[in-house]
Amino acid sequence: MTPAMPSQLFYGGDYNPEQWGREVWLEDMRLMREAGVNLVTLAVFSWATLEVADGVYEFGWLDEIIGLLHENGISVDLATATASPPAWLTIANPEVLPVNYQGTRLSHGGRQGYCISSPIYKAKSGQLAAKLAERYGKHPAIKMWHVNNEYGCHNPICYCDVSALAWREWLKKRYSNLEELNLAWGTNFWSQRYHSWDEVLPPRETPTGTYPNPSMTLDYRRFSNDQILDLYLNERDIIRGFDSVNPITTNFMSMKHTSVLDYWQWAKEVDFVATDHYLMADDERNYIDLAFQADLTRGFAGGKPWLLMEHSTSAVNWQERNIPKAQGEMLANSLSHVARGSNGAMFFQWRQSISGSEKFHSAMVPHTGEKSRIWHNVKELGAKLQELKALAGSETEIAEVAMIFDYQSWWALSQRNLPSTSISYPELAHDWYRALWELGLRVDFVAPGSSAAELSNYKVVLAPMLYLLNTDDEQALIDYSKAGGSLVVSYFTGISNEVDAVKLGGYGGSLVRDHLGVFVDEFAPVRLGEKVSLSNGMSGSEWSQFATTSSADELASYVDGLALGSTALAKSASGRDWYVGTRLDDASNQQLFASLAAELQLEQLGGKGVEVINRGGLQLSIDHNTNRVSWKANV
């Protein structure tokens, strides 16, 4: 049995005491107690202050601060400090630094400056994790381990020669021989056929206007994900050797445009799921993106509680315009995460820095100190979490709607040479989710490859742009539907198999062509800024297609544009499955999902700017029009 997350609502944030003098540490303890902080994440970027030269460790300051926190009743989420290697390591071993797509070796000085396939980085990070686990594994203040930090945030892919060697070994395990690889990647195209493993390079930049082989590029994303996961597993297993009691995790990145890792795979390897989420200030309804990411994170956690490891008290420092949070917005954000399954609310960071590139990022203790608006809000949130502490360990109520979210389809769709560069996997998934949110319909996220039995927990399963679909996964969707479930399938679903080779005989394979009964003949992307109108009054953009129904019932056709007269919206002969052939605008999506909710008699709670979520014995309600939060017993 692996250790579980303690059943507690956590409150606190990243704590970087090495940026401050001892007198500030004492003030920190007082303020943390005042705000109700019960957990801090220590040492995330401390490698250079803990290992000052190769093999020379200085743990004195960390001993002291862990002791002080413990005396003050504050627990520690101890990071392994391996997120940013110190200068001495990369100066002595320049090959540890990553190489970008263009072949340039990057420099020390930012963060995460390491190649994900570097054996030197792996050995040195493992050594540091061992030292920390040995020294602090049994310290009573330690509650959990925080391996590295946001893996792959800045260095998701490396194109160096060391990576090339690891890549070939990875390929030899995936493909039993070179001929199999040649076939999978379709290398007879453009003279790409390989005759020896040594000829296979990372998909580096190619002559202008050409791109590396798409199947190869997709595999390189899979390889990179696996290399990073291997680094995590190395540290995790080392820690486990010293500490079998405290849970071990790492913080994922739940962001609309972050696709670096396949978190469905990662979730199996952490003792509990933890994630970071930041609002995009330019998005006026960014609380819906927050809800999407929180629900997705709960999906990774299999419905169990998870932990929001970072969010911001107010503005960040890395967007074009860093807009602060409105009054009440922080509380609304934090409680939305809690309602959707987080066992608490943690922030980046405790005390706002005065130096370094994050000095204008908000924190729990801002530059202006205790007289600030933010500090007042921080104390208020601490008190609310105290009132809600009985929620710890409880689960958010299961939804009636499931959405399949697939990082690997996203990777394939992030490449060039598709029918249109305007199509965006996360945008379509978010469009659909936004409509459901506004209608008060709650969504659970499920992994691609879920079995028909797993899907049968839901009345309806959504598959927006599930581009890669292998035969087994396709069959699971068909079986789910045949057993009485409802599918909503979008354009550009089921186009290719797992090696990104197109399925022939009507786009969308047997799911779309045979099961749904829609024959998609040719794609007709819509020009930028133009719209297509549908015969039922709806409208869409970006995509249309030459399509007809075979067994399906046509609900709407295009009344203008190139695909005039073609099927735009259809329902399968069973009357239970929908096919959506364009990127509907917001009003049309709401119309579509409202009729679906009515037909399937789905429960609607809240809506129109108000979210209502049941967790534990409570019904939490968060009104984003006013930023007011409330809860009552859920009877």
Residues contributing to the site for ligand GAL (CB under 6 A) = 149-150, 153, 276, 278, 310, 316, 348, 358, 361
Residue 526 CA: distances (Å) to CA of 240, 483, 533, 536, 549: 54, 36, 11, 19, 21
Cβ pair 533, 510 in contact under 8 A: no
- Rounded to a whole number of angstroms, the minimum distance from the CB of residue 267 to ligand GAL is 18
Q: What residues contact 370, with CB distance under 8 A and at least 6 apart?
A: 31
Q: How far apart are the first and last CA of the chain?
A: 34
- Rounded to a whole number of angstroms, the minimum distance from the CB of residue 68 to ligand GAL is 22
| Catalytic position from the list 51, 235, 310, 474 | 310
Nearest residue (CB) to ligand GAL, 230 versus 358: 358
Give me the residues paired with residue 578 across strands: 488, 571
Nearest residue (CB) to ligand GAL, 150 versus 431: 150
Query: Residue 150 catalytic?
Result: yes
- Rounded to a whole number of angstroms, the minimum distance from the CB of residue 316 to ligand GAL is 5
Cβ pair 81, 88 in contact under 8 A: no
Classify residue 424 as left (phi > 0), alpha (psi -120 to 50) or beta: beta
Nearest residue (CB) to ligand GAL, 219 versus 310: 310
Residue 537 CA: distances (Å) to CA of 20, 106, 542: 62, 53, 17
Query: Residue 474 catalytic?
Result: no
Closest listed residue to residue 488, CA positions, set 406, 570, 377, 553: 570
Scanning the structure block, which residue is given the tokens 């990070």?
125
- Rounded to a whole number of angstroms, the minimum distance from the CB of residue 570 to ligand GAL is 42
The C-alpha atoms of residue 62 and residue 9 are separated, in whole angstroms, by 25
Closest listed residue to residue 572, CA positions, set 517, 617, 619: 517
- Rounded to a whole number of angstroms, the minimum distance from the CB of residue 443 to ligand GAL is 25
Scanning the structure block, which residue is given the tokens 């040995």?
134
Cβ pair 511, 577 in contact under 8 A: no
Cβ pair 68, 391 in contact under 8 A: no
Nearest residue (CB) to ligand GAL, 190 versus 360: 360
Q: Residue 266: what are its φ and ψ, rounded to 5°?
A: -65, -35
- Rounded to a whole number of angstroms, the minimum distance from the CB of residue 442 to ligand GAL is 28
| CA 153 to chain centroid | 11
| Catalytic position from the list 51, 150, 400, 542 | 150
Nearest residue (CB) to ligand GAL, 18 versus 358: 358
Closest listed residue to residue 302, CA positions, set 331, 262, 323, 273: 273
Please give the full DSSP string across 36-105, using - where no structure is assigned: T--EEEE-TT-HHHHEEETTEE--HHHHHHHHHHHHTT-EEEEE-S-SS--HHHHHH-GGGS-B-TTSPB
Buried b (16+ CB within 10 A) or exposed e, 278-287: bbbbeeeebb
- Rounded to a whole number of angstroms, the minimum distance from the CB of residue 511 to ligand GAL is 37
Nearest residue (CB) to ligand GAL, 185 versus 348: 348
Nearest residue (CB) to ligand GAL, 190 versus 318: 318
Nearest residue (CB) to ligand GAL, 310 versus 431: 310
Cβ pair 543, 558 in contact under 8 A: no
- Rounded to a whole number of angstroms, the minimum distance from the CB of residue 311 to ligand GAL is 9
Q: Which residues are catalytic, by number?
A: 150, 310
